[in-house]
């Protein structure tokens, strides 16, 4: 079971990042979440969602989804910009089990862009 992405449902509101960040820090920020909204190519409107797990990253790219091993992403670089806390040092998704609740990113998304499978 993991959180997956329907990338074309996403409208880039960042509520998933906020909810995940709150799960980890009990505060609102865009730096600690296991979910990262990729929005670094704004002029192209190229936007996606990345979810970090223990083993890999789930990439919800506009052209389709993919899973990428952490080693691969290290070579290619990812994370949406220099000051975006690099994805590799972020928390890994625990499906919110440590808080005893359903995955908050899935619950909070207004457009069903995230789901469990």
Partner 1 sequence: MDVMYYGDTLIVDLPTGKTEQVEFSPEMLTENGPGLAAGIALYRDHEDGDPLVFGSGLLTGTTAPASSLGFVLGKSPLSGELAVSPLSLFSGAEMKLSGFSMVVIKGDSPKPVYLWLHDGVADVLDAAELWGLDTWGTTDAVRSEMGEQLVQVVSIGPAGESPSKLSAYSINYWGSGDTAALGARMGGKKLKAVALRGLGMLDAEEPQDFYEGAKGLLSEAPAWKGFNKACEGIDAGDIDGWLKPLVHRYRSCFACPAACNTFVKYNEGPSVMESTGVEEPGMLVTGAASAAWLLSGGWKAEPACRAMESMARAGIDLIRGARELAGSPLDDASETEEAVGGLSGGEEAGWPGGDSSPKGLFGPWVPPLADEDEWLLANRIGYVIGICPTYLLASGMETSGLFGLCSSAAGVELDPSMVAGMFS
- Residue from 6, 39, 67, 115 binding partner 1 (CB under 8 A): 39
Shortest Å distance, C-beta 80 to partner 1:
6
Which tokens sit at 1?
């079971």
Residue 31 makes contact with partner 1 by CB under 8 A: yes
CA atoms of 103 and 9, how far apart (whole Å): 18
User: Which tokens go with 112?
Assistant: 């069903």
Selected binder of partner 1 within 55, 69, 74, 81 (CB under 8 A): 81
CA 19 – CA 16 distance, rounded (Å): 5
Least distance between partner 1 and beta carbon 55 (Å): 26
Q: Nearest distance from residue 117's CB to partner 1, in Å?
A: 22
Given the rule CB under 8 A, which of 5-13, 50-58, 67-75, 86-94 is the region that contacts partner 1?
5-13
Torsion of CA 54, 104, 46, 72, to 10 degrees: 0
Residue 1, judged by CB atoms within 10 A of its CB (0-12, 13-18, 19+), counts as: exposed
Q: Which residues bind partner 1 (CB under 8 A)?
A: 8, 11-15, 18-19, 22, 25-31, 39-47, 62-63, 80-85, 104, 107-108, 110-111
């Amino acid at each position: 079971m993991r959180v997956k992405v329907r990338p074309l449902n996403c409208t880039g509101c960042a509520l998933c990042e906020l909810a995940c960040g709150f799960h980890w820090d009990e505060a609102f920020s865009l730096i600690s979440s296991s979910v990262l909204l990729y929005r670094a190519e704004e002029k192209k409107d190229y936007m996606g969602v990345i979810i970090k797990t223990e083993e890999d990253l789930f990439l919800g790219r506009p052209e389709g989804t993919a899973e990428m091993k952490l080693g691969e992403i290290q070579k290619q670089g990812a994370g949406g910009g220099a000051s975006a806390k690099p994805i590799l040092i972020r928390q890994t998704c625990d499906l919110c089990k440590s808080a005893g609740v359903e995955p908050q990113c899935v619950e909070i998304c207004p457009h069903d862009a995230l789901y469990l499978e």
